[in-house]
Amino acid sequence: MQIEKLNIKYTPLSPEDRIKELYKDFNTILFTSSFGTTSAFLLHLFNKINPNQTIYFLDTTYHFNETLDYKKTVTDLLKLNVLDLKPESWKNNFTTQDKTWNSDPDLCCSINKVEPLDKIKNNFQVWVSGLMSSQNKHRGTLKIFEKKDGILKFYPLVDLKEQEAFDYIKKNNLPEHPLLKAGFHSVGCFHCTVAGKGRAGRWVNKSKTECGLHL
């Protein structure tokens, strides 16, 4: 089915119905989660529809301990099937010793996020992500489906506001990311994240706004 037809079909649907349709239209689905502040929303939706769906977590080795604790809490609560994707050890060690996140954050993200995902991406028809158009300028241009780097991407929450995700998390008694109360509305690697509204705390004082997975 062409992307234009997919977007026409899925746009009127609720996020939950979009996910139900996804399983009718596609057989191999790649679902990645950062276990960030809004992640429990999409994880819960998918878990209701297909509790056997594998969730891939990009373990850069630079996550906040609070994120790793949160990942365990949500995984145990929802009984998720989570697999960690890790960078090559020698490359990861290089970025640690070199502190590449300071001199070349794009390279750091490429080594620790993009490359591990690239190794499995071709095994799937469609890649699910929880991006929302309200999160930054680039994401504001997204539709439910787009073709990027040889794979179809699916954003079932693209036309929702972050507050809707937080409201859903609260309504369904899902755990809140522990760093949210500390002012972190978006959480990435600890070297490159500070407290801030929206994504304002990511890569402060740098032109970078995305890790490279979605650009």
Interval 178-203: pLDDT, tens: 999 998 888 888 988 887 776 566 65
Window from 67-81, 83-97, 121-135, 137-151 with minimum mean pLDDT: 137-151
- Domain count of the fold of the chain: 1
Task: Say how far apart CA 40 and CA 133 lie, in whole Å.
Answer: 18
* 102 assigned to some structural domain: yes
* 30 assigned to some structural domain: yes
Is the pLDDT confidence value at 154 over 80? yes
pTM beyond 0.95: no
| Strand 145-148, strand 151-154: pairing | antiparallel
Report the chain's mean pLDDT, rounded to a whole number: 89
Known catalytic residue at 109: no
Is the pLDDT confidence value at 61 over 50? yes
* 181 assigned to some structural domain: no
Is the pLDDT confidence value at 206 over 90? no
**In the structure encoding, which two tokens stand for residue 153, read together?**
């991407």
Residue 151 has a CB neighbour count (10 Å cut-off) of: 18
* 142 assigned to some structural domain: yes
What is the CATH classification number for the domain harbouring 86? 3.40.50.620
* 52 assigned to some structural domain: yes
Backbone φ/ψ region at 198: left (φ over 0), alpha (ψ -120 to 50), beta:
left
Say which of 109, 189, 192, 211 is annotated catalytic.
211
Cα 48 from chain centre = 18
Which secondary structure element, helix H or strand E, spans residue 127, and what is its range? strand 126-128
* 31 assigned to some structural domain: yes
The single-letter code of the amino acid at 85 is L
CB neighbour list of residue 142: distance below 8 Å, 6 or more residues apart: 131, 133, 155, 158
Average pLDDT estimate for 150-155: 91
What is the three-class DSSP state of 71? helix
Is the pLDDT confidence value at 208 over 60? no
What percent of the chain lies above the pLDDT cut of 90?
A: 71
| Residues of the domain holding 134 | 3-171
Window from 6-15, 41-50, 141-150, 196-205 with minimum mean pLDDT: 196-205
SS3 content of the chain, % helix, strand, coil (to 5): 40, 15, 45
* 200 assigned to some structural domain: no
* 206 assigned to some structural domain: no
